Amino acid sequence: MLTFRLSMVLLFWVLLLLPLAEAGAQPLTSTWWYPNGTPEGTRNNPATTKLADTANLQIIWRTESLKNSPVLLAGKVRQEGANQQQIIGLESGSHILRFLDAFGRMYDTVNYDETIDPSTPYTLTLTGLFNSEATMPNGVGVPNLLGLGIEREQRGETQLNGILSQPNGRNGFSVRIPTLASNDPSYNRIAGVYPAAAFMVQGKPTVFAIASQNQFRNTTPSTPDSIVNGVYRYTNSGNGFVQTDRFPIAPGVYPQAPAITITDSSAIPYIAPSTRSLIEPAGQVIPAGQGVTPTLTTRMYGIGLKVDDKLAHVETRRFTSQTSQNDTLGETNSYFVRMYDGRDRSQLTFPSEYRLVTTNFSEDRPGVPSITLLLTQDGLPVDQSRGIFSINTVKNVGWTILSGNVDGNDTSKQDPGVDGEYPNNPGNEVLAAYRQLDGRDVDSNYLFFFQRNGAREPNNGGRVFWNYTAWPFKGRLMAVADIVRDADTAKQEIIIAHSDSLIVLQMNRYADVLLSTVDASRRQWFRQVKAFKLDSRVVAVAVADLQGNGTNTIVATTERATYAIGTAIENPLGEVTTKDEYCRGEQATARWGARRVGGGEQGLRVIVRASTGTDSVMIAELKPATDSGTFTFPTGQLLPGSYTLLLQDNAVPTLSATSLSFTITGPSIKPLVLPRSQYRPGDAIAAQTVIRCASNLRLERALGSGNDWEAVPATITYLGDTAFIQTNAPCLDPCPTQQTARLRFRLVDTSLAGVESVADTITLLTEPIQLSIDSGAARARLLRWNPNLFDCDSVELTITTADAAGVKTVSNRPGIYDLNLPRNFAGTVTARLCCGSGSSSCTFGRAAFELEPIEVGTYAQPNPFNPMLGGRESIVEIFYDLELRGSVTITIYDASRALVRQLLRSGDKEAGLNVEQWDGRNSDGAVVANGTYICVVESSSGEQSSIPILILKR
């Protein structure tokens, strides 16, 4: 039970340890000395912003490093990078220190499990960046120490310690406290040691640390050795830091670091640690009246320690009534704030420095929260009557206190017609808001706006600590800082968080609010100038001039990531480069490189956008994202035109990079122009043409003006935007009937329908081989040719006239053939000789001659004929012309009309010229005798004819 309570209290403490800024002309480090705001009112660096209008405020990087970090430190811990600052954090519960550069890129980690024995569970807490060489505790200069607090159980006699290391987290040394003395099992052996500050004291580097143990056995202040709780001083006299003294304070885990300051009125630094009273406090008993329970108190209330030769306790003032039980049930926190009091500073015995004291409460110590403003001299309160503010209707809440020049010295309310009773405070104001002790949002919170009443004779009876307004909001007050300039550059902005939203507020002009709204409860004193929806609950906020250019950046951790909010970083994802042109349909490649900001854990998406219009298409997902690389994207779904590529972070789409414009080009083919207009079959054709984005070309041809296109065997090569075509003139017909033909050639892209060139036309010339034919009028002719000119064993002989044609395959090798033309061949007779349709040869011969016509009827040839000769001369062909189709019978008779032989009996014949053969033999197969024989042709159609045939055997 005890351990659970300790861990919850520590969690509360950790959630409130937010980094603060140093003061000075050149802020280079943040400190932990003012955990909720320096007197100047910024959380990190009081740099004057150079930001442009609010519209330029945006998320400039996001990384999942340092997610859920309750403490963020910013400072210059690297030599490189000019004045750039780095960010240090510990993710909640982690023992790994992580370092981010100004652009959110993690460049280093330190795992403390390698130096701290992890077998003993421990909690590691960042406590600050310090400059032990600074002569003033506001830490001006470059930090040389990093503080880490350690809470763990003491085992054996090993001392408990915190760590001070170099700013890079390495080469550290221990800040130890005395060994816990008791071995009693009921004795709490868990304690934490937290380095809190470091600066020069009397010329020696000095470190201050807070030790905290929630319970201890001996609570008697007279025996301080038994109490580890306190403020410890460690001095470096040249041999390292050695504990020189300590001051015991009330036990507890402190939700605030000590406020360390040099006041305006004293050259001695003061420590004003937060204190927490004991359940059974060891301190003074204040007697009360009869019947009234005495009040227990302790001298640790409102403690102030002079940092001189020794830690001197110089102030024991209590800030609540001695008769109130609140005196022992609360928790006291001190802040030093500077507020102008309205008078000439040179006339004051001490300047306008105030100490702000708040009382906070936990659920086991319920009470009324209050804020008290004390005018101080030499760090000590000299006037408690400056103002007490308390809220009786709210319990179990604490305070967040910030100060800053929120109204920007707005003088509009000094007009008596507006508000003459409370003139403007030209310096800082104090902002206060409720906070839950576990760091949760406060659903019904208020932004209390306190001013130092500067009237010489205030009408409110001298009250100088004036709560000007209580403005309702939901969430938590996180920071006051100079973020944007807008119309009024003097105003500092207020940062609040509600759940996963981070909101930047700015105060409106007094006159505008007071004159526009009579009802005070409805006055809108603050306006939202920017809001950011983050990925999860906001945990911590810091403000720092990360890039060292005088411009503040908001850094916020959430439960899932760390964000930076400021002015846009040029090319945060690096430059995206593409080719100037891509062919539609190709797989395009683009590159990006030199990513300037960290993050990208959620990956990137690639969007292609038309240069005109609003159309866009996501074409790629890159997971996980890298600092540079290449990616491919298809172009087939994009119409020809001009485009840009947009690379976006999936988690923060405003983090983007845009390429220069590039063109998606559709395919095109310039007109095909062949070098000659006439070709012979087999001639080589070589041509070239310009193409764009057409790479799957095919050569096609069509005959004449027709559209029956067919592919042509061709070799096509590419060089840049030029296509080179090689083919041969075709052999259209191995036995052509014409010597010329017109062909059209074109190029087409086979992968894209409709992409073709303008066709070019050629004339195909075919010249025949000369054939030799005997002259004369006879129908028996001798055809001669050169067989070596034909690349085939047999040739196809075609004989044609105007009315008849015949085809015969003959042997090529002899080079000679006897023509015996039928009676129906007459007029111009053409003989063509070629290798035939089964050959690829285009060689052919051609000859023509005239042949006298023979009357068409019934005739025999040859007549007379000799059946004894053999071969063709021993056969007679009987030609007969039928007008109608019919069943034909052909009979041979001798001169006495005796039957010799029936050549054909009831043969079905077509109309036209028909032919039958007789070999001069009778029905018995014997050769007939010489003489005249009669051939009778009869048809079922009624046609009949007869012719004499003379047999003449020699």
DSSP for 327-373?
HHH-EEEEEEEE---SS-GGG-SS-SEEEEEEEE--TTS----EEEE
Taking residues 161-189, report their average pLDDT: 78
**Rounded to whole angstroms, how far apart are CA atoms 599 and 651?**
9
- pLDDT by residue (tens digit) across 52-92? 567 788 999 999 999 998 888 888 888 776 788 899 998 88
- Specify whether 416 is located in the same domain as 454: yes
* Of 24-33, 43-52, 260-269, 446-455, minimum mean pLDDT range: 24-33
Select the more confidently predicted residue: 590 or 351.
590
Do the beta carbons of residue 734 and residue 743 sit within 8 Å? no
- Specify whether 494 is located in the same domain as 610: no
- Specify whether 428 is located in the same domain as 373: yes
- Specify whether 386 is located in the same domain as 319: yes
DSSP for 802-825?
SS-EEEEEEESTT-EEEEE--TT-
Taking residues 32-52, report their average pLDDT: 38
pLDDT score of 284 more than 80:
no
Q: How far is CA 512 from CA 431, 475, 492, 505, in A?
A: 21, 26, 18, 16
- Specify whether 753 is located in the same domain as 839: no
pLDDT score of 553 more than 80:
yes
Q: What is the CA radius of gyration of the chain?
A: 56
**Residue 736 located in a structural domain:** no
Give the strand pairing for 429-435 and 442-452. antiparallel
Q: How far is CA 926 from CA 725, 861, 920, in A?
A: 71, 21, 8
Residues 6+ apart with CB under 8 A from 924: none
CATH of the domain at 649: 2.60.40.1930
Do the beta carbons of residue 785 and residue 771 sit within 8 Å? yes
Residues 6+ apart with CB under 8 A from 29: 22, 74, 75, 76, 85, 129, 130, 131, 139, 141, 142, 143
Do the beta carbons of residue 128 and residue 73 sit within 8 Å? yes
- Domain end, chosen from 827, 851, 875, is at 851
pLDDT score of 722 more than 90:
yes
Residues 6+ apart with CB under 8 A from 423: 342, 413, 414, 453, 454, 455
pLDDT score of 348 more than 80:
no
Strand partners, 666: none
* Of 43-57, 187-201, 678-692, 837-851, minimum mean pLDDT range: 43-57
For 890-921, b/e burial (b = at least 16 CB within 10 A) is bbbebeeeeebbebbeeeebeeeebebebebe
pLDDT at 253: 42
CATH of the domain at 786: 2.60.40.10
**Rounded to whole angstroms, how far apart are CA atoms 773 and 374?**
140
- Specify whether 880 is located in the same domain as 931: yes
**Residue 679 located in a structural domain:** yes
Return the percent helix, strand and coil in the chain, to nearest 5: 5, 45, 50
**Rounded to whole angstroms, how far apart are CA atoms 552 and 423?**
31
pLDDT score of 350 more than 70:
no
**Phi first, then psi: what are they for 286, rounded to 5°?**
-95, 115
CATH of the domain at 894: 2.60.40.4070
pLDDT score of 281 more than 60:
no
pLDDT score of 171 more than 60:
yes
Taking residues 525-542, report their average pLDDT: 92
**Residue 441 located in a structural domain:** yes
- Specify whether 311 is located in the same domain as 190: yes
- Specify whether 76 is located in the same domain as 158: yes
Exposed/middle/buried for residue 501 (C-beta within 10 Å: 0-12, 13-18, 19+): middle
- Domain end, chosen from 622, 641, 665, is at 665
- Specify whether 451 is located in the same domain as 407: yes
CA atoms within 13 A on the CB side of 519: 2
- pLDDT by residue (tens digit) across 657-674? 888 999 998 888 899 899
- Specify whether 37 is located in the same domain as 111: yes
Sheet containing 772-773: which strands, arranged edge to edge? 772-773, 780-784, 816-820
Residues 6+ apart with CB under 8 A from 138: 22, 23, 24, 31, 33, 38, 261, 262
The residue segments making up the domain with residue 813 are 769-851
Do the beta carbons of residue 906 and residue 887 sit within 8 Å? yes
Of the candidates 48, 42, 46, which has an alpha carbon nearest to the alpha carbon of residue 402?
A: 42
Q: Interior CA angle at 730 toward 728 and 732, to 5°?
A: 180
For 657-679, b/e burial (b = at least 16 CB within 10 A) is bbbeebbbbebebbebebeeeeb
Taking residues 290-298, report their average pLDDT: 43
- pLDDT by residue (tens digit) across 863-910? 888 888 877 778 899 988 888 889 999 999 998 899 999 999 988 988
**Rounded to whole angstroms, how far apart are CA atoms 781 and 851?**
11
**Residue 915 located in a structural domain:** yes
pTM for the model stands at: 0.70
Exposed/middle/buried for residue 936 (C-beta within 10 Å: 0-12, 13-18, 19+): middle
**Residue 182 located in a structural domain:** yes
At residue 273 the predicted structure's pLDDT band, cuts being 50, 70 and 90, is: low
**Residue 598 located in a structural domain:** yes
**Rounded to whole angstroms, how far apart are CA atoms 734 and 722?**
35
* Prior bond of 864 cis (ω within 30°): yes
**Rounded to whole angstroms, how far apart are CA atoms 254 and 13?**
6
Q: How far is CA 686 from CA 171, 674, 709, in A?
A: 79, 7, 20
- Domain end, chosen from 519, 548, 566, is at 566
At residue 315 the predicted structure's pLDDT band, cuts being 50, 70 and 90, is: low
Residues 6+ apart with CB under 8 A from 409: 424, 426, 490
**Rounded to whole angstroms, how far apart are CA atoms 786 and 772?**
10
Q: How far is CA 858 from CA 801, 882, 903, 916, in A?
A: 21, 9, 15, 11
**Phi first, then psi: what are they for 681, rounded to 5°?**
-55, 130
**Phi first, then psi: what are they for 423, rounded to 5°?**
-60, 165
- Specify whether 634 is located in the same domain as 684: no
pLDDT score of 465 more than 50:
yes
pLDDT score of 43 more than 50:
no
Q: Interior CA angle at 299 toward 296 and 302, to 5°?
A: 110
Average pLDDT over all residues of the chain: 75
**Rounded to whole angstroms, how far apart are CA atoms 399 and 442?**
11
Top mean pLDDT of 145-159, 219-233, 614-628, 930-944 is at: 930-944
Number of structural domains found in the chain = 5
901: left (phi over 0), alpha (psi -120 to 50) or beta: beta
- Specify whether 839 is located in the same domain as 724: no
Select the more confidently predicted residue: 902 or 304.
902
pLDDT at 436: 77
Three-state SS string over 904-937 comes to: EEEEEECCEEEEEEECCECCCCCECCCEEEEEEE
